[in-house]
């Protein structure tokens, strides 16, 4: 069997989840990982039986003999490793948001086109089995013309400082924005957003954004990092789709497996990255399986095109600007 050799840069919370999912794919070898912390590298190598680590992303890209590089650093540190990996002719899976400015996004897209490698941005919801099923129903026309979408992604407040310090719109809102475009099959022409600061006077933790699409559809994106620690899961998300002939919705946490014990009530995540026997399954697993299969077969990926990644950053930035200026932004 041919094998896919992977190098992964960024060993934070999400890099760890990705490695845990990759460890279930029989044709994948994670040949090296990279973080600036040697202690973290050692810890992760031990956990997953990985033989090599690098403290500098240039070295893993140049020396690790990986076919594909996964970039899972913080959003403000995506651009350089992605550009370097593309320049070296590697296939690349980049975490969202692709970058924090459109100028950087365009540099990356230009390089990816020039190098003709397999390049995908991790817009994970497109790999959630429920969201995919709903997309198929929408495509078949069962709901008629989609006219309205409400999409929410709210997160435990304890995660705010470490994981949303640039802006929640680009960290979590971007998932909902991508979802709205995907379901509406149309382009956003106007954005009006409002924000609230509770946790930090400089960075808003809560946003609502109203998106207007070119054929008249509307969507509301909500993202707030104020979920209390007592919430049953770190993520609370909902999508409600209204069409001219039907409506549909998806709720997370899904009430599929309530567990009640003497001490607490639990509604474990059974879709995003449920951990079974120490390995992450669910959405993250499906996404990594798709990307690594494309690399294995040498086939370009067709699930998240470059324009999707660009548009989602453009709309998220417009929402931030709209909330700052308290006026609607035309795109
Ligand atoms: N698709 C999804 O559903 C999903 C879900 C969660 C997160 N994410 C995305 O995944 C990315 C990572 O998120 P996270 O929560 O894991 O962040 P995190 O916990 O802050 O981890 C970031 C990691 O990157 C490393 N890093 C930073 N600069 C580096 C450099 N120059 N060279 C090597 N390593 C470097 C950091 O370690 P050192 O500072 O020690 O180097 C740290 O290990 C973000 O883009 C986030 O938006 C996506």
Supply φ then ψ for residue 2, to 5 degrees. Answer: -65, 155
What would the pLDDT profile of 146-155 be if each residue is shown by its tens digit? 999 999 999 9
Whether residue 20 has its Cβ less than 6 Å from ligand 1:
no
In this predicted structure, what is the pLDDT of residue 253? Answer: 80
In this predicted structure, what is the pLDDT of residue 230? Answer: 86
To the nearest whole number, what is the mean pLDDT of the chain?
Answer: 96
Give mean pLDDT, residues 289-301.
Answer: 97
Q: What structural domains and CATH numbers belong to the chain? A: 4-121 (3.40.50.720), 126-277+311-330 (3.30.360.10)
More confident residue, 251 or 18: 18
- Find the 95 Cα to ligand 1 centroid distance in Å: 9
Does the pLDDT value for residue 49 go beyond 60? yes
What would the pLDDT profile of 183-225 be if each residue is shown by its tens digit? 999 999 999 999 999 999 999 999 999 999 999 999 999 999 9
Query: Which residue in 216, 217, 196, 193 sits closest to 205, CA to CA?
Result: 196
- From 8, 12, 308, 309, give the residue whose CB has the most ligand 1 atoms within 8 Å, as the site to mutate: 12
Give mean pLDDT, residues 5-22.
Answer: 97
Does the pLDDT value for residue 1 go beyond 70? no
Does the pLDDT value for residue 48 go beyond 80? yes
Q: Evaluate the omega torsion of the peptide bond into residue 233 and state whether it is cis, within 30 degrees of 0.
A: no
Q: Which atom of ligand 1 is nearest to the CA of 171?
A: 47
Distance CA 90, CA 65 (A): 10
Least confident stretch, 203-207, 253-257, 283-287: 253-257
- From 47, 74, 95, give the residue whose CB has the most ligand 1 atoms within 8 Å, as the site to mutate: 74
Give mean pLDDT, residues 241-248.
Answer: 98
Look up residue 89 and give its two tokens: 């002719």
Does the pLDDT value for residue 162 go beyond 60? yes
In this predicted structure, what is the pLDDT of residue 147? Answer: 98
List, in sequence order, every beta strand (DSSP E) within 128-270: 146-156, 188-196, 206-213, 218-227, 235-243, 247-252, 259-260, 265-266
Whether residue 85 has its Cβ less than 6 Å from ligand 1:
no
Give mean pLDDT, residues 232-236.
Answer: 89
- Find the 27 Cα to ligand 1 centroid distance in Å: 25
Give mean pLDDT, residues 70-85.
Answer: 97
CB 292 within 8 A of CB 28: yes
Does the pLDDT value for residue 126 go beyond 60? yes
Residue 215 CB neighbour total at 10 angstroms: 13
- Find the 1 Cα to ligand 1 centroid distance in Å: 31
In this predicted structure, what is the pLDDT of residue 166? Answer: 86
Give mean pLDDT, residues 226-233.
Answer: 90
How does residue 296 score in pLDDT terms, banded at 50, 70 and 90?
Answer: very high
Does the pLDDT value for residue 268 go beyond 70? yes
Classified as helix, coil or strand, 84 is helix
Q: Where are the alpha helices (DSSP H) in the chain?
A: 13-22, 38-48, 57-63, 79-87, 102-115, 129-139, 160-163, 168, 174-184, 282-297, 306-325
In this predicted structure, what is the pLDDT of residue 233? Answer: 87
CB 41 within 8 A of CB 18: no
- Find the 2 Cα to ligand 1 centroid distance in Å: 29
Write b or e for each residue in 130-162: b if 16 or more Cβ atoms lie within 10 A of its Cβ, otherwise e: bbeebbeebeeeebeebbebbbbbbbbbeebee
CB 210 within 8 A of CB 318: no
Distance CA 307, CA 258 (A): 39
Least confident stretch, 155-164, 196-205, 234-243, 253-262: 253-262
Does the pLDDT value for residue 99 go beyond 60? yes
In this predicted structure, what is the pLDDT of residue 199? Answer: 95
Look up residue 65 and give its two tokens: 């003999």
- Find the 30 Cα to ligand 1 centroid distance in Å: 17
What would the pLDDT profile of 305-323 be if each residue is shown by its tens digit? 999 999 999 999 999 999 9
Give mean pLDDT, residues 63-81.
Answer: 96
CB 54 within 8 A of CB 36: no
In this predicted structure, what is the pLDDT of residue 69? Answer: 98
Q: Whose CA is nearest to atom 9 of ligand 1?
A: 95
Does the pLDDT value for residue 254 go beyond 80? no
Write b or e for each residue in 218-257: b if 16 or more Cβ atoms lie within 10 A of its Cβ, otherwise e: bbbbbbbbebeeebbbebbbebebbbeeeebebebbeeee
Whether residue 124 has its Cβ less than 6 Å from ligand 1:
yes
- Find the 37 Cα to ligand 1 centroid distance in Å: 12
Q: Give CA angle at 149 (252, 207), nearest 5°.
A: 75
In this predicted structure, what is the pLDDT of residue 165? Answer: 80
């Amino acid at each position: 069997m041919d094998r896919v050799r992977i190098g992964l840069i960024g060993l934070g919370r999400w890099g760890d989840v990705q490695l845990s999912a990759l460890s279930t794919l029989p044709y994948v070898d994670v040949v090296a990982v990279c973080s600036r912390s040697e202690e973290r590298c050692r810890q992760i190598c031990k956990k997953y039986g990985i033989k090599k680590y690098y403290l500098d992303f240039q070295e893993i890209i140049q020396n690790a003999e990986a076919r594909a590089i996964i970039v899972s650093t913080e959003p403000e540190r995506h651009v350089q490793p992605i550009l370097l990996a593309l320049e070296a002719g590697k296939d690349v899976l980049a975490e969202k948001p692709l970058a924090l400015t459109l100028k950087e996004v365009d540099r990356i897209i230009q390089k990816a086109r020039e190098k003709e490698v397999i390049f995908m941005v991790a817009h994970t919801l497109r790999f959630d089995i429920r969201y995919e099923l709903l997309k198929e129903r929408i495509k078949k026309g069962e709901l008629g013309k989609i006219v309205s979408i409400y999409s929410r992604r709210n997160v435990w407040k304890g995660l705010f400082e470490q994981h949303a310090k640039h802006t929640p719109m680009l960290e979590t809102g971007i998932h909902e924005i991508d979802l709205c475009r995907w379901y509406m099959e149309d382009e956003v022409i106007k954005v009006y957003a409002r924000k609230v600061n509770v946790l930090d006077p400089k960075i808003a933790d809560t946003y609502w954004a109203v998106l207007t699409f070119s054929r008249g559809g509307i969507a509301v994106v909500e993202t707030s990092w104020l979920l209390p620690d007592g919430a049953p899961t770190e993520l609370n998300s909902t999508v409600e789709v209204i069409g001219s002939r039907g409506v549909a919705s998806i709720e997370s946490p899904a009430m599929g497996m309530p567990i009640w014990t003497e001490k607490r009530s639990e509604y474990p995540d059974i879709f995003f990255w449920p951990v079974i026997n120490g390995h992450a399954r669910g959405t993250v697993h499906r996404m990594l399986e798709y990307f690594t299969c494309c690399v294995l077969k040498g086939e370009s990926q067709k699930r998240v095109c470059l324009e999707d990644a660009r548009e989602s950053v453009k709309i998220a930035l417009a929402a931030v600007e709209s909330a700052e200026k308290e006026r609607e932004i035309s795109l």
